[in-house]
């Protein structure tokens, strides 16, 4: 075990140290409250929902200055580093960039193992990003979408049917269409 890995159990890790360490790893990790969290694979439902969201957003935002990215690109907050399931940024990114600092929309697909972290700790960290307009949580277990908007003082808006309006990008998603591939 290297010296950095040994100190992970006692000392919180800073962003620069984490990025340097993580870029040398074969697997992905997130940094939350100074601790490294290994990223694991998701279920079929998780992957299908991400694919559907990325496809709809990409088609909608085609020929705009906005870019849709999936879980391979890091988001940097004030003290944390995450790999959101889906993100939209309208700020120019360079091909060499390792992370996004100005997301407009972030979507996380909830799983049993991540729901609490996504709903509370990640949400609190994401809300500190000045450019973020909406944070969306999509359940893979039931037809349930939560939207938190800066314009609404980050109060939850719950959807269990009908249309889900992503105001930050001007897109309405039909819940039946979103969950069709999982029925």
Mean local confidence (pLDDT), 24-31? 83
* C-alpha closest to that of 82 among 131, 145, 15: 15
**Pairwise CA distance, residues 171 & 115, whole Å:** 24
Looking at per-residue pLDDT, the higher value among 4 and 123 belongs to: 123
Mean local confidence (pLDDT), 38-56? 90
* C-alpha closest to that of 81 among 134, 27, 125, 142: 125
User: How high is the pLDDT of residue 4?
Assistant: 43
Angle in degrees, CA 71, 73, 76, rounded to 5: 115
CATH of 44-182, one of 3.30.870.10, 3.40.50.620, 3.30.1300.10, 3.90.1570.10: 3.90.1570.10
State pLDDT tens for residues 6-27: 344 456 778 888 888 888 888 8
DSSP label at residue 181 = G
State pLDDT tens for residues 58-90: 999 999 999 999 888 889 888 888 999 999 999
Beta-sheet strand order (sheet of 29-32): 35-38, 29-32, 81-82, 74-76, 99-100
Mean local confidence (pLDDT), 118-147? 95
Residue % of the chain over a pLDDT of 90: 59
Residue % of the chain over a pLDDT of 70: 93
Give start-end residues of each CATH 3.90.1570.10 domain in the chain. 44-182
**Pairwise CA distance, residues 27 & 121, whole Å:** 22
Q: What is the mean pLDDT of the chain?
A: 88
User: Is 60 exceeded by the pLDDT of residue 127?
Assistant: yes
**Pairwise CA distance, residues 183 & 181, whole Å:** 6
State pTM to two decimals: 0.86
User: How high is the pLDDT of residue 11?
Assistant: 65
How many other CB atoms are found less than 10 A from the CB of residue 73? 17
């Amino acid at each position: 075990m290297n010296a950095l890995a040994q100190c992970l159990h006692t000392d919180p890790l800073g962003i620069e140290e984490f990025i340097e360490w993580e870029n040398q790893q074969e697997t992905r990790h997130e940094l939350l409250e100074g601790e490294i969290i290994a990223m694991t694979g998701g279920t079929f439902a998780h992957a299908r929902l991400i694919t559907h969201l990325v496809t709809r957003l990409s088609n909608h935002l085609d020929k705009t200055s906005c870019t849709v990215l999936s879980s391979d690109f890091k988001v940097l907050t004030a003290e944390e580093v995450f790999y959101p399931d889906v993100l939209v940024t309208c700020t120019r990114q360079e091909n060499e960039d390792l992370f996004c600092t100005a997301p407009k929309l972030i979507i996380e697909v909830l799983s049993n193992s991540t729901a609490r972290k996504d709903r509370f700790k990640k949400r609190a960290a994401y809300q500190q990003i000045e450019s973020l307009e909406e944070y969306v949580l999509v359940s893979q277990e039931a037809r349930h979408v939560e939207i938190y908007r800066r314009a609404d003082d980050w109060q939850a808006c719950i959807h269990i049917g009908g249309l889900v309006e992503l105001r930050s990008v001007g897109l309405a998603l039909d819940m039946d269409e979103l969950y069709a591939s999982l029925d």
